[in-house]
Amino acid sequence: MKKKIAVIANGWYNRGLTDIMKGITAYTGQRGIDVFLFLTYSTFRESVEYNDGEFNIHRLPDYDDYDGVIFIPDSLSSPKEAERLRSEFVKNRIRAVSVGTPMEGLSYVSCNNYESMRIICEHLAKEHEIKRAAFIAGHRDNAESNERLNGCRDVFEKYGVSLEDKDVFYCNWEYEAVVKAAKKIGSDKRGLPDAIICANDVGAMAVCATLEDMGYSIPKDIKVTGYDNMYLTRAYSPSITTMSQPYEEMGYGSAEAIYEMAESGECVTKNSISKLIIGESCGCAHDGAAVSARKKLAQENFLTAENNIIFERTSIDIENALFRSKSYEELPSVLQEYFRSNHEYERDGFAIVLKHAYAQNIYSDDTDLKEMGYGKSMKVVVALSKNKAYGIDDFEVQKLIPHYKNSKGSHVYVISSLHSRNNIFGYVIMKDVMDHVEDRSLYAYMSRLGESFEKYRKIMRLDQVNTRLRELSVKDSLTGLYNRYGYDSVIKKRYENDLLRSEKDAVIFVDINRLKYINDTFGHLQGDMAIRTIGTVINECIPKEWVAIRYGGDEFLIFGALKEEPNVDYLCERLISTIEKRGEELRLPYKLSASCGHLITDPSGDLTLEQYVETADKYMYENKRRSYLEQQQ
C-alpha cells in the first residue's frame, strides 16, 4: 500500500501554505509518498453558511487511511472547526501534526512567533529609537497573532516604548479592517505613532497604501513593519521590513514528524526562529533586492493579466458547456465531451464528484444538500485520466479519487468542496496544481464552478416548473387528458403536419351515455367518477402515439395518425366494451357506457379538422340513437 499524508489548510494562507507544501513535498518526493491537500477558502467575514460549505471537505476523508495528518489550524479562520478536527484526531488516535499552533494531543511544528517578533521590535527600539507604536493584529483568538503581540509588548516594555491597548487593532487578517484601522491611526488627534507593527505582510502593505493616500510618507513620517516575508513585500514600494518564517523547514519537519510519531508512539515538537529581512519601510537602506523584485513583479503582472483573460474565458466556457445539458441525465456526457479536449487549467487527474442528492434536489427542496458529510456513494460526472474522460454512476466515496492508483513517484492531490453557500453539491479533485493555489486562481475557479452548478440547478428547476405549467395549461385536471386548449395547440398542429406528409388520421368522438342522469340521481362526485374512469380507459386503449382530449363535459375526442391503418371499428368496439366492464369492476351504482363515432381523414380532400370533428360527432349521435332504439326493442 502506497504511503499517503493528508494536509488540512486554508488557501488564503497563501505564501505560508505554498512554502509549507514545498517543504512537505521535499520530504514526500524523496520517499514516493502522495499528499492529499483538503483545501478551503473560509474567512471570518464570510457567512456561517458559506464556511460550512467549505469546511464540509474536512468530513470527506477517512483519516485512518493516511499515515498521518498535517493540520494548519489558525489558517481555517474558525477556532470551532479547528477544535472539532483536533478532537476527532485525538479521539480516533490519528497521527496529526499542528503547524503554527500548539494543540493538546497533537504534535507541534512551528516558528517561535514570540521570539521572532522580539527580533523585529528590538530592531525598531534599538536602531530607530521609536517611542510610541501601534499594532495591527489578526483575530483575538488567533494564537500566532497573540504570540507576536506578546513578543512586541515585552520588548517595548523593556525599551520604554509606549503600546497602549487602544493602539492595538484586531483586524481578523482582513484587508478592509486594516484599512479602517490605518485611517483611524492616521487621523488620531495625538498624531502618528513612530511605528506600526503588523502581524502579517498584507496588513503592512495595506497600512502603507492607506497612509500614503492620506498624504503621509513611509518611512519619513512613520515606520511600518510586516511579518511573513511574502514575495510581494520585496517589490512593494517601499519594500517592507519583515520576518521570514522558515515555512519550508516547518513543512519538511511536519512530514518528518508523522513518521517519527509512527516509530516512537509519542508526540513530537519542533521549533524554528524567523529571520529579520530589512526593507525600506523602517527607514533602513535596501540592498538592491527591491529593484530586481519590482522588475520581476512587472513581468509577472503582465503574464497574470494575460492568464486572467484566458482564465475568465475558461470559466465562461465551462458554464456554457454545463448549460448545454438539457437534463441531469445528459450532464455527464456533456461535461465529459467538453473536458476531454479542454483541460489546460484542470490538467490530467481532474474530477467532479457529485452527491446523488444534487440530481434529486434539482426538482425539490435543498434539505439533503445541506446535510454535512457526503454519504457512502456519489456520482463521478467527469474524470480525466491520461486524456480520457469518463464517469461512474455509483462511486464509493471511501476511494475518494476515481483514477487513483499506487503509481510510482509522488503527487499532490488538491481536493475542495463544490458548493454554493451551505448547499453542498460534491467535491472537485485536481492533481499537481500548487501553482493554482499559490496565485489564488483556484479560489476564483471553485467559486465560479459552485455558482455555475447552482445556476444549472435553478435552470433545471425552472424548466421543470415551466413544463409542469405547460402541462397544466393543456391538460384536464380531472382526467389527465388534453383539454380544449390542448386541442388547439397539439391536435391541430399534428393534423397540419400529417396533411403535409399526406398521412391519414383517425378522428373518434366519444360521448358518455346518460351523464345528466348520473349527476342528478347519484350526485356530481359519481359523475366525476364516470368521466375519470372513461378518460382512464381511453388512455389504456389507444395507441401510445395517439392523443385524446376531454372535448366538453361528457365528450372526448381521439386523434391519431394511421401509418399502418389499424382497424378503427375494432378500436371503438373495444373502447365501449372496456368502459362497460370497468364500470362493473368498480361496482358503480349505475351502468357506465359510452357511444363512439369515427371517420378517416382524406389528405387529398378539402375538409378542415373542425369539419371532420363535426362529422365524427354526428356519427356518434347516430350510433347512440341506434343503440338506444335497439335497447327499447
Let me know: does 104 contact 85? Beta carbons within 8 Å.
Answer: no
Q: What's the whole-model pTM score?
A: 0.69
Cα 11 from Cα 436, distance rounded (Å): 10
Measured in whole angstroms, the distance separating CA 615 from the mean position of its chain's CA atoms is 60
Position 626 pLDDT exceeds 80:
yes
Position 578 pLDDT exceeds 90:
yes
User: Is the Cα torsion angle 367, 369, 375, 376 positive or negative in sign?
Assistant: positive
Position 1 pLDDT exceeds 70:
yes
pLDDT digit string, tens, across residues 471-502:
666 788 899 898 888 888 888 989 999 998 89
- What is the structure's pLDDT at 358? 85
* Res. 600 pLDDT band, cuts 50 70 90: very high
Give the cell for residue 125: 527600539
Cα 93 from Cα 109, distance rounded (Å): 19
Cα 57 from Cα 426, distance rounded (Å): 9
- What is the structure's pLDDT at 365? 62
pLDDT digit string, tens, across residues 384-438:
998 899 999 999 999 999 988 777 789 999 999 999 988 999 999 999 999 999 8
Least confident of 157-171, 200-214, 403-417: 403-417
Average pLDDT on 150-168 reads: 96
Mean model confidence pLDDT for the chain: 90
- What is the structure's pLDDT at 274? 86
Average pLDDT on 228-257 reads: 89
Q: Backbone phi, then psi, for 563, in 5-degree steps?
A: -70, -35
Q: What is the 3-state secondary structure (H, E, C) of 535-594?
A: HHHHHHHCCCCCEEEECCCCEEEEEEECCCCCCHHHHHHHHHHHHHHHHHHCCCCCCCCE
- What is the structure's pLDDT at 235? 82
Comparison of pLDDT for 485 and 114, the residue scoring more: 114
- What is the structure's pLDDT at 424? 92
495591527: which residue's cell? 136
Give the cell for residue 169: 487593532
Q: For residue 489, give the DSSP letter.
A: I
Average pLDDT on 564-592 reads: 90
Question: Please, is 524 exposed, middle or buried when counting C-beta atoms within 10 Å of its C-beta (0-12, 13-18, 19+)?
Answer: exposed
- What is the structure's pLDDT at 386? 86
Comparison of pLDDT for 323 and 80, the residue scoring more: 80
Provide the residue type at 405 as one letter: K
Q: What domains appear along the chain, each with residue ranges and CATH number?
A: 111-246+270-292 (3.40.50.2300), 484-632 (3.30.70.270)
